[in-house]
Structure 1
Amino acid sequence: MNRQDDLAAEGEPEQEFNPGIAGRMPRKTAAGGALIRDRDGRILFLEPTYKPTLDIPGGIVEMNESPYEACCREVREEIGLVLEIGRLLVVDWVPASGLWSDSLAFVFDGGVLDGDTLTLDPTEARAHHFLTLPEAAPRLRPSMTRRLTLAEQALTTGIPAYADFGRPV
């Protein structure tokens, strides 16, 4: 089945029990990222053009797109590879900060690259690096370091993690 068939099987959408309430409900953003490694276990980090810290390939979920679909799309756009994105490693709630609303960050297993040539989108990333987490940590936000630590643990244990701002719950 496809998504349209699944939606049709759900039946008619619920009616609002209180007119206008749906428009007043809070909205969260979501992002999907891939933990991609090289044969030595180092993580692929990008130097984004739009922020000062390193990041993993991935990005914001678009309207009516799942976090997994966003991860696949963003990996393709940012590094020019169509990868088989694997299982969920981490879901992390990120609190609101400044102009940004709170969000959910999903990290998926991006697998291991074996000599693949990356083609960076110059509007998204100026460079890439394969680094261990301790090597990358000085150039990451602390919450990202915590989130990726949980992702590496999930690779080993096979158990996905839920976190609040990178701290396991």
Structure 2
Amino acid sequence: MADSGRPDTSTDAGRRTAINILNARLPRKRNIAQGLLRNEDGEVLLCELAYKAEWDLPGGVVDPKESPAACVVREISEELGVAVGVDGLAAVNWLPPWRGWDDAVLLLFDLGRVERSFSEGLTLLRREIKAVHWVAPEDLADHVAPHTARMLEQVLDGDGTAYPRYLENSEIPGGLT
């Protein structure tokens, strides 16, 4: 430690000590990675979950030191028994606290399009997934949480831009167009 009581950041050990102090004090935010998979008719694959009423997109919480893209691939492999590739990022969505959960950042990845029969060969992790369903965009709000319905509406009604949507609580924040 330097005379000031702070780590001496001119040394490697001092920089590591300073980083450890900051890591212990700075806020941590939960990250969620989900995948948007569509069939040839534009329907969206939803998972009927064993642990909550609303259906949801495949994916899950990003583990420490795991990339969000690796998370969505891992979660789909574990829960649906299939390997997928990530085509790109469709949206970044900050979610406010909800039902007792702290706020989070959801990264929605585009997993491309597959044939409807894709869902027939899945091996579901039954403790988490009861069933999967192809759902038409106009029917999504009947099955998913309100924030998921709003996010999918924003993404599916996109103007074809090559960049992902940035959303807050599944809406375009004021001042952004």
TM over 0.5: yes
Indicate which of 135, 140, 143 corresponds to 2:144.
Answer: 140
What's the secondary structure of 2:55's corresponding residue?
coil
Contact 1:143 1:166 in 2 (8 A): yes
1:50, 1:120 → 2: CA distance? 14
CA distance in 1, matches of 2:66, 2:138: 33
Matched with 1:16 is 18
CA distance in 1, matches of 2:90, 2:140: 19
Distance 2:89 2:161 in 1: 12
Q: How many residues are paired up?
A: 157
CA deviation map 1:18-51 (0-9, x unaligned): x844322211100111100111110000111111
Residue equivalent to 1:158: 162
Q: Report the AA paired with residue 84 of structure 2.
A: L
Q: TM-score, normalised by structure 1?
A: 0.84
**Structure 1 segment 11-160 matched on structure 2, within 5 A:** 15-16=17-18, 20-114=21-115, 115-116=117-118, 117-154=121-158, 156-160=160-164
**TM-score (structure 2 length as normaliser):** 0.81
User: Residue 160 of structure 2: SS of its match in structure 1?
Assistant: helix
Which stretches in structure 1 are left out of the alignment for 5+ residues? Answer: 1-11
> CA separation of 1:64/1:154 partners in 2, compared to 1, >3 Å: closer, same or farther?
farther
Is 98-107 or 36-45 further displaced after alignment?
Answer: 98-107
Return the offset for 1:159. 2.6
Q: Deviations over 1:69-127 (max 9, x none)?
A: 11110111121110111100000001123431111000011111222222211111101
In the alignment, the residues of structure 2 paired with residue 69 and residue 21 of structure 1 have an alpha-carbon distance, to the nearest angstrom, of: 26
Is the CA contact (8 Å cut-off) linking 1:29 and 1:104 kept in structure 2? yes
DSSP-derived class of the 2:131 partner: strand
1:9 matched residue in structure 2: none
Structure with higher Rg: it is: 2
Unaligned runs of 5+ in 2: 1-11
Give 3-state SS (helix, strand or coil) of 2:54's partner: coil
Aligned 8 A contact 2:80 2:124 in 1: yes
Change (3 A) 1:129 1:57: same
Identity in percent: 30
Q: CA deviation at 1:156?
A: 3.4
| Residues 42, 137 of structure 2: 8 Å contact kept | no
Counterpart of 2:6 in structure 1 is none
